[in-house]
Structures are given as C-alpha cells and as structure tokens.
Structure 1
Amino acid sequence: MSPHELDNPAFHALSGAHRPLAIRRGEAARYRPTVAPFGALPPEPTAADWEDLAAVAGDDELILFGLPVEVADGWEELGRFDVVQMTAPDGFGRAHPDVVRLTAEDASAMVDLVAEAQPGPFSSETHLTGAYYGVKEDGRLVAMAGERLTTPGWTEISAVCTRDTHRGRGLATRLMEAVAHGVHEAGRRPFLHTGAGNTTALRLYEHLGFTRRETANVVQRVRVAR
C-alpha cells in the first residue's frame, strides 16, 4: 500500500501548495522561520536527504510532523510527543455571520491571542498558510481558527483558540465549521491534530464527528547535533 499523504503532511504541503513559503534543498524543506517551525523529509529519507535538511535548518530547531522517523547521524532528537490525527465527517462545516475572515492587518492580534491561549506554534507570518477566521468583540479578537498544512486533498484546521474570558460559548465549534466550509469550497477535506493527552479537545472533536486515523503520528523536535 502506498503511503497516505496525511502520514507526512508537512512534506506534501511544502512540496505543493506551500512551496512559496518553503526553503528547500533537494527533497528536504522547511518553512521560513517567520511562518512555522516545521521541517519535512520525503518518505524513507536517505542520508543525503538529512544532509539537505541540515543545510536548510542551520542552527534552528525544527519540528517533524507525521509518522516517526529514526534521526540520522549528525542530528539529535530533543523530544517527541504523540499526536492524534483526525478527519472531519462528511458535511461538517458552514458559514456563520459572526465569523470574519482575518487579514494581514490582524496578524499582531492573532499572535497576541495565541500567546494567551497557547494552541501551538504561531509566528508573525503563520497566517500566510491559509484562510484564518475570527470572532471580534468591541474590535478585539477573542477567538480564531484557520488553515495550516495543506496537502493535495486535505487541509488542516489549526490554531483553534479562545480567550479565557470567552470560553463556553461555542466559539471554537463555530470557527471550526467556518474553516471547514472554506476547505470544502476549495475542493479539499478537513483534518486536524491534537495532543494524544488532550482529553478535552479529543472529546470536543469526537462530539463533532471527527474520527481518528489509525496511524502512530508524532511530533519530533530535532536539530543538527552541536
């Protein structure tokens, strides 16, 4: 059976839709540091692929996303944790009148919200990975979600976060539906990741009908050995 594109989503994103956001050498790639900390290798990477990744990584720590890989000589793994990859049910997603499409003018507000809510990595140009949506009250961004990794057939729902003062109002669900609606409009299917130990998020996503893929996905923090 050939590998599924969701087994190595960053590689497929950086080789396709997100190529303009990539720093590449050979088959190895990474996002520009201001976009995301993710690096990518082809399936079953060779020593040459690791050397190419080292060339684009420099002194930076990178995050590898997907099926676990054995780190090559000359590299060190700084940590890893298990993630659950989930796919949306058919028909999930719809527009909401209180949800607005965010723009580059909202970038600093998005970074500030992520710093408070801590949904995962988010930098000054992460919003370039796709469409981001938010809910604003009195001109202040109080919740958001958007598109991150985009493969040929799938787009990841990411950065789902709400300020503590606005939790319990269903904003996360509305935003996920808005993102999913846009993903379907683009001819792709939504998926997402969450930490394997994040029981609150897992309960929400399962309640919404998301199903787990049966693969051993991990996040691996790696860098060139010093």
Structure 2
Amino acid sequence: MHPLLDNVFWHALTGPHARFAVGDGGARRFAPGFSPIVAFADPQRPDLAALVPHCAVGERFYCAGWSGAAPAGWCVELEASMLCMAWQGETPAEDDAPDAVPLGPAHVAEAMALAELTRPGPFGPRTLELGEYFGCFEGGRLVAMSGERMAAGPLREISGVATHPDAQGRGFARRLMRKLIRRELLRGETPFLHVMGGNAGAVALYRRMGFALAHETVVRVIARA
C-alpha cells in the first residue's frame, strides 16, 4: 500500500489541501466550515498545544492514530476503530451513474441535511469544495451522494457516502462510488476510503467492490475542555 496512507490526514492538510487548512507546528486542522478533522505530524505524540490558537473551547474534532492519554485542557469524547481501505480492483468499464448531478454551492443545504440524517462521517457546509461530489435526485430531493475529501500525492479519498433511508437498498451508493472510482483511476489517482471497524456490512461491500485493507487505526473525537 502507498506509504502516505499511514498518516494521510497530515499529508493532505500539509499538501494538496494546505489551502483549506489552518495551524502551525505539528498540528493542522481543516478551516472552520470544512470537515472537522485535525492531523498531527506525529499522531502518537499529538501537538495539541499548537492546535489551541486555532480552535474554540468545546469545538469537536476527529483525529486518527492517537491512543495516548489526553493532556490537560482536552478530553476524548469518543474512541473507536477505523479501517483504511485502498483500491485494488480493475477500472470500472462504464460510468454506473451517468445521470448523477455534480453538487456545488447550490446544494449545500440539501447535502448537509442528508449528512445530518445519515451520519456518513465528518461533514461541513464547505466539504463539497474539497473535490468532486455527485448526487442522485428523485422528485427534486437529494436521496444519495458521494464525493472526494482527502487528497495526498496520488491518493484520493472517497467520502460522504450517504443514502436517504427511503432510498436504501437500491444501489445508489455503490453506483456513485464506482463513478468516482472510475474518474479517479482515469486521472491516474488511487481511490481509498475510511470505514468504521464495526460496520461489517460496509466493510464487506467495499471488499466486494475491489478495496483491500491498508491498515486499522484508532479514531477519536476530541474537544477542548
């Protein structure tokens, strides 16, 4: 697997997505409005002091790879296992979602509502700016979406995979993901994704699609106390 996957959030926030990041020293975060994610140059020794000037008391962030005790002034609100999976399959021969609509500023409210309903992971009103996002609409309503979040070297993360409960079981998520996978591979990029370790159904689906496990890590939700 690609070595940048070992600390991909850091490589994204100090690389292709540095323009969307704030922070200094050994800590970076997406600017307010984007996905609430932080990253550290050394995840096992997170430079939380460098993060303090760039976040508010009570503001919550997701971070990966850190399993030590929380220093004074910080608290861990949630801890779980997260899998990083990278594409190992063939390039899809066709666009499986040719009618999907590119999502942009006009769709922020609908995308946020779908994300709040389905909880696909860290999502903010400016997340759509991080890459290509596509959605499926029925009766003028956004019922499914998927897009790109992290970018690091040749790696491109598929994220924001969400389907409205009324539309689940009809293959929307799979078709949108395959659309993105095909576009990324044709650009010479390697698709990857993150999934919670306890979501056995999603892990099995991604394996069937062509993703393979790169590594497993701890993921936390942290906040300034």
| TM-score clears 0.5 | yes
Look up the match of 2:68: 70
CA distance in 1, matches of 2:180, 2:111: 16
CA gap 1:219/1:46 in 2 versus in 1, 3 angstroms: closer
Q: Write out per-residue CA displacement over residues 99-151 of structure 1, whole angstroms, 9 at most, x where no aligned residue.
A: 22212111111111112222122221111111101111222211110001111
- Residues 45 and 66 of structure 2 are in contact (CA less than 8 Å); yes or no, is this contact kept in structure 1? no
Number of matched residues?
220
* Corresponding residue SS for 1:135: strand
1:221 has 2:221 as partner: yes
CA gap 1:181/1:78 in 2 versus in 1, 3 angstroms: same
Look up the match of 1:79: 78
Q: Write out per-residue CA displacement over residues 140-168 of structure 1, whole angstroms, 9 at most, x where no aligned residue.
A: 21111000111112111111111122122
- Residues 89 and 209 of structure 2 are in contact (CA less than 8 Å); yes or no, is this contact kept in structure 1? no
CA gap 1:71/1:187 in 2 versus in 1, 3 angstroms: farther
1:31 has 2:21 as partner: no
* Corresponding residue SS for 1:53: helix
Give the aligned CA root-mean-square deviation in angstroms: 2.0
Cα displacement (A) at 1:71? 4.5
Q: Which one-letter code corresponds to 2:7 in the other structure? A: N
Q: Write out per-residue CA displacement over residues 140-199 of structure 1, whole angstroms, 9 at most, x where no aligned residue.
A: 211110001111121111111111221222111110011112222333100111111111
- Residues 44 and 66 of structure 2 are in contact (CA less than 8 Å); yes or no, is this contact kept in structure 1? no
Q: Which one-letter code corresponds to 1:51 in the other structure? A: A
CA gap 1:167/1:73 in 2 versus in 1, 3 angstroms: closer
CA distance in 2, matches of 1:92, 1:163: 27
CA gap 1:152/1:71 in 2 versus in 1, 3 angstroms: farther
Cα displacement (A) at 1:56? 1.7
Q: Which one-letter code corresponds to 2:62 in the other structure? A: I
Gaps of 5+ in 2: none
CA distance in 2, matches of 1:111, 1:128: 13
- Residues 88 and 190 of structure 1 are in contact (CA less than 8 Å); yes or no, is this contact kept in structure 2? yes
CA distance in 2, matches of 1:153, 1:135: 27
Once the two structures are superposed, the pairs formed by residues 36-185 of structure 1 within 5 Å of their partners are 36-43=35-42, 49-59=47-57, 60-65=59-64, 67-71=65-69, 73-74=71-72, 75-93=74-92, 94-95=94-95, 96-185=97-186
CA distance in 1, matches of 2:202, 2:169: 13
* Corresponding residue SS for 1:217: strand
- Residues 13 and 19 of structure 1 are in contact (CA less than 8 Å); yes or no, is this contact kept in structure 2? yes
- Residues 132 and 144 of structure 1 are in contact (CA less than 8 Å); yes or no, is this contact kept in structure 2? yes
Q: Which one-letter code corresponds to 2:3 in the other structure? A: H
Gaps of 5+ in 1: none
Cα displacement (A) at 1:44? 5.6
- Residues 68 and 216 of structure 1 are in contact (CA less than 8 Å); yes or no, is this contact kept in structure 2? no
TM-score by length of 2: 0.89
- Residues 143 and 172 of structure 1 are in contact (CA less than 8 Å); yes or no, is this contact kept in structure 2? yes
CA gap 1:45/1:26 in 2 versus in 1, 3 angstroms: farther
